[in-house]
Amino acid sequence: MPKTPGLHLVTEDEDHKVSTIELFFDLVFVYAITQTTQLMADHLSLLGIGQGLAMIALLWWCWCGYAWLANTLHVDHGIARLAIFGAMAVMFLVSLTIPEAFTDFPGGLYAPLMFVGCYFLVRLLHQVAYLGAARHDPGLRRVLLRMFVGLLPSVAILTAAAFTSGTLQLGLWGLALLADYSNVYLAGPDGWRINSPAHFSERFGLIVIIALGESIVAIGIGIGSFPMSWLIAIAAICGLALAAAMWWMYFDVVAMVSERKLASATGRERAKIATDTYTFLHLPLIAGIVLVALGLKKTLLYVSDTEHHNPSEALHGVPIWALTGGIALYLVALSALRRRNLGSWNRQRLVLAALLLAATPLLEHIPATALMAVTAAVGLGLITVERIRFAKWRSEVRTPHS
């Protein structure tokens, strides 16, 4: 591979690993996810949930771009390191303005416009760094320029949305995201490069862990400074058990199969798998986890705040639908990943997702602590059934192929 002055490119034959600067870069996304969860918690309505999901989709597109970049370029060497630090600084400003991204607070800068400007700058820095790495790769350079052309109308629509509010604003956000996502999807995988499948899959596995970490943090935030009780302890452990079950559902088989599928492919097919499996299908996975975090936060608040809630009070409305809907979305996304990589749906996970949604109106009538126990039991029960019923298949799938 030709050398680019000041840039250290990843070659296909090297054992490329996730660098510490990539993990450092992820810290701003940890904060952004926390801010997004709080955004939805402060606006518990269908509009607020829609704004939160739109925000997750926008943040995800930023993060994915840099994950692809780090698979082409050693971002911990040369001037690429400076580009990453610059992107971190601007992305931190994006995270800080998330609470005002849809509604400006009185006084100070006009935050919705500042948010869009910083978002555009993050994407622009990504394009500049990527184009530098693609100096000797005409195919990659063409697809990057096409991606930039598709970004411009998206940013223009977001700019217009900054001066609107309510459903119109959310609709414009949806249109902007559709334009950006469609531009990449319709262009196809031609030109993209995945030089290190192990590095690429590890990056996405780490962001899943980060998102799951947010669900655990949400438990602590929900408890806040309220005095500890047995009900709080039970509910917290149940919340942790649910997060652990979600970790198991992904990392026990799904992550392994996805990485193996990616590594076994080459060229255009490898780029297609990376786009489908990771860039697109991991988005609902992350969105589901964030919704679960919101539900856990509100559930623990109901259990802890005895001044405003009693122990027998049930979670209801948007918070409980965020919890059950988040779990259902996570299960559907996992099943879709299996469909993409193994050719068949995970039917038990789809059935469980449907049953959980159907049972939500009934779950609105049980105490919040009991709700935590039910959701934990659902997750752990699914794992147990799959381990027993599909023990042989699971063993075969998990066995590395020679």
Domains of the chain as residue ranges with CATH: 14-193 (no CATH), 194-402 (1.20.1410)
Average pLDDT of the segment spanning 255-284: 95
pTM to 2 decimal places: 0.94
Q: Give pLDDT, residue 151.
A: 93
Read off the pLDDT of each residue in 348-352 and give the average, rounded to a whole number: 96
pLDDT digits (tens, 9 = 90+) for 352-365: 999 999 999 999 99
Distance CA 217, CA 281 (A): 24
Coil vs helix vs strand at 89:
helix
Nearest to 65 by CA among 161, 208, 181: 181
14: confidence class by pLDDT, cuts 50, 70, 90? low
- Share above pLDDT 90 across residues of the chain, in percent, rounded to a whole number: 77
Structure tokens at 242: 């649910």
- Lowest-confidence pick of 218-227, 236-245, 255-264, 283-292: 218-227
Q: How far apart are CA 198 and CA 275, in angstroms?
A: 15
Give the C-alpha separation, 179 to 183, whole Å. Answer: 6
* pLDDT score of 6: 60
pLDDT at 328 over 90: yes
Average the pLDDT over 11-40 and give the result: 89
Establish how many alpha carbons lie within 13 A of residue 356's alpha carbon, considering only the half-sphere containing its beta carbon: 27
Cα separation values, 195 from 15, 80, 343, Å: 10, 17, 25
d(CA 249, CA 327): 11
How far apart are alpha carbons 343 and 40 in whole angstroms? 35
> In the prediction, which pLDDT does 392 show?
81
pLDDT at 399 over 80: no
CA distance linking residue 120 with residue 128, whole number of Å: 12
Q: Which residue has the higher pLDDT, 13 or 266?
A: 266
Can you tell me the mean pLDDT for 109-122? 96
- 303, 368 in Cβ contact below 8 A? yes
CB atoms within 10 A of CB 74: 18
pLDDT at 336 over 90: yes
Q: 299: exposed, middle or buried (C-beta count within 10 Å: 0-12, 13-18, 19+)?
A: buried
Average pLDDT, the chain: 92
d(CA 163, CA 249): 42
Half-sphere exposure of 121 (CA within 13 A, CB side): 18
User: Token digits for 24?
Assistant: 């450092």
Q: Between helices 368-389 and 282-304, what is the axis angle to 10°?
A: 140
DSSP string across 333-383 = HHHHHHHHHHSS--HHHHHHHHHHHHHHHHHTTSBHHHHHHHHHHHHHHHH
Confidence of residue 1 (pLDDT cuts 50, 70, 90): very low
Q: How many CA atoms lie within 13 A of 122 on its CB side?
A: 28
Average pLDDT, stretch 254-269?
A: 93
pLDDT band at 391 (very low <50, low <70, confident <90, very high): confident
pLDDT at site 13: 63
